[in-house]
Amino acid sequence: MADKVLELLENANHPFSGEEMAQQLGITRNSVWKAVGKLKEQGYEIEAATNRGYRLVSEKNVLTPQGVRRLLTGPARRCAIDVQDSVTSTNTLLKQIAEHGGAEGMVLIAHQQTQGKGRLGRAFFSPKGTGLYLSVLLRPRFSAEEALSITTAAAVAVAQAIDAVTGEHAQIKWVNDVYLRGRKVCGILTEAAVDFESGGLQYAVLGMGVNVREPEGGFSPQLRDIAGALYRDQVPPGARTRLAAEILNRFFTWYEAMPARPFMEEYRRRCLLTGLEVTYTQGERSGRCRVLGVDEEARLQVRLPDGRETAFSTGEVQLSKDFLDQLRQGHKEETP
């Protein structure tokens, strides 16, 4: 009902009385009052004038299910959106829902995660009010071997969404980190359960955490050398809502095309590592190599010091601090 009341207020060019809304919606004035109260709790600024009615003043930076749903297009319109104030981990909760038969397209967004998850068991810093923490439940119709495609498609979707919202150019650091101005602004984690009878995926949960603005006092000493945010100070009104919708719209367009990988050309174009000397780690083995590019299966193509060429399907790569400093300095010089 709050969604319906919000729609009336958004489309009205004059104050809307509680009685008028009650008549249009077929409910009581008390129900209208409760719906308006719920919208205010969510952060909508609604003015109530005696003998005149209700008027929507501002949405500011409210992030609500109905706000995201209004911006969804194409396949993403089938998504069921839930926004919660604080959760342990959006991935953890959606995995529990998946185990109990949750449908594909369920999306959980949180303002805060107390136990955010990154790759390799790492924690993902998820303070309240500074990020977009979003997970999607998927029921893939392709083999488990194709699961990596979910992550690469998501990286492209996030990078494109950041471009659309900020007007800047995001890049991808193999395999699942999105960078802006030489700093990591997004991490992506896909967790899946395999159906051993069919060899396919029972479900996959795709989690994405985007740093929208810097936390008060800046990032912690452990993160400040690598982490960044889309905005340094104030976040433009509606930016988080639009970012969530842009990510979902773009990801589900790519997802519908799987197991083909039409997004790989864009992934390669945005690859931050191509042509660079990097340090790699695979299990207990590490060394230096030159990155040649990314192949159709999202493997990192590299040349080792002895001249041999190979491809990494898993592992970690680190960029030199000098290169990142040069990249960041270049962005500073471009800023008017």
Position 336 scores a pLDDT of 37
* pLDDT value of position 123: 62
Residue in the structure block whose two tokens are 């949750």? 102
* Low pLDDT (below 70) residues in the chain: 58-61, 115, 117-127, 197-199, 330-336
| Domain 2-58: which CATH number of 3.40.30.10, 1.10.10.10, 1.10.1740.10, 1.10.3720.10 | 1.10.10.10
How many residues appear in the chain?
A: 336
- Residue ranges covered by each domain of the chain: 2-58, 65-269, 277-334
Query: What dihedral do alpha carbons 215, 216, 220, 221 form, nearest 10°?
Result: 130
Nearest one of 326, 268, 280 to 305, comparing CA atoms: 280
At residue 181, what are phi and psi to the nearest 5 degrees? 55, 35
pLDDT at residue number 117? 65
CA 239 centroid distance within chain? 12
Burial 119-137 (b: 16+ CB within 10 A, else e): eeeeebbbeeebbbbbbbb
Output the pLDDT for position 42. 72
- Residue 9 CB: number of other CB atoms within 10 A? 20
Helix, strand, coil content of the chain in percent (nearest 5): 35, 30, 35
Helix (H, G, I), strand (E, B) or coil at 299: coil
CATH ID of 277-334, from 3.30.870, 2.30.30, 3.40.1350, 3.30.70: 2.30.30
Indicate if the alpha-carbon torsion angle 309, 275, 152, 74 is positive or negative: negative
**pLDDT, position 304:** 95
Superfamily of domain 65-269: Bira Bifunctional Protein; Domain 2 (3.30.930.10)
Question: What's this model's pTM, rounded to 2 decimal places?
Answer: 0.82
Q: What is residue 208's predicted lDDT score, i.e. its pLDDT?
A: 95
Q: Do domains 2-58 and 277-334 have the same CATH topology?
A: no
The answer to whether the beta carbons of residues 193 and 202 sit under 8 Å apart is yes
